[in-house]
Amino acid sequence: MKIVGTQLSQLKSHKLAFNIDRLLTPAEILNNANLEKAEPINPARYLNFNQLWLHRKRIQQLQLLPVKTDEMREKYRLQSKVNLQIEIEHDLESHHVMMASNRFPYFLPADVEQHLIWFSPSIPREHTAWWVARFLEYTDRDICDIIIFERSTVTTTELVRGTFPAIRHVHLWLSKY
């Protein structure tokens, strides 16, 4: 699934954007180079989306984070990061924001839809919640249906540090059911 910003209507609920803003990874965490190591999400412990949702504050604060299977990690490693960046930048040239299914999904419970929302450099971080609210309205979802976080690009802490810092993006998880 791929949705671009131009497909979205005007935001109906500014309250929704305000509430989403409170769910985003805070700037002080994203800008902290010395973050603690996160606990990896283990699907044997977190059996479904609802169990992860109960811990979404820890995910938002980069204390509980997903990992890839060895197979998916290898697939990601073999993907040309230059080609991936060119492809995403091409999509963002005309749309500025794009939500797409994560092509390199994490090892998470089967009922978790994994998406990325990519932002062109012209979109300030302060507008993230507004765009996420528009995506939720477009997909007829509610704030209770999401887990959202953004990895730090300045920390050196393994698992917490983002692996694709070239283009700003947030991770958006939805329940499949």
Residue 11: predicted pLDDT: 66
Amino acid at 9: S
Amino acid at 64: L
Q: What is the pTM of this model?
A: 0.90
Local confidence pLDDT in tens for the 177 residues of the chain:
666 655 556 767 788 889 999 999 999 999 999 999 999 999 999 999 999 999 999 999 999 999 999 999 999 999 999 999 999 999 999 888 999 999 999 999 999 999 999 999 989 888 899 999 988 888 889 999 999 999 999 999 989 999 899 999 999 999 997
**Structural domains counted in the chain:** 1
Determine the Cα–Cα distance for residues 72 and 103; give it in Å rounded to an integer: 9
Residue 134: predicted pLDDT: 87
Determine the Cα–Cα distance for residues 35 and 37; give it in Å rounded to an integer: 7
Distances (CA, A) of 71 to 80, 106, 117, 164: 16, 11, 24, 18
Range of the domain at 163: 2-175
DSSP code of residue 89: H
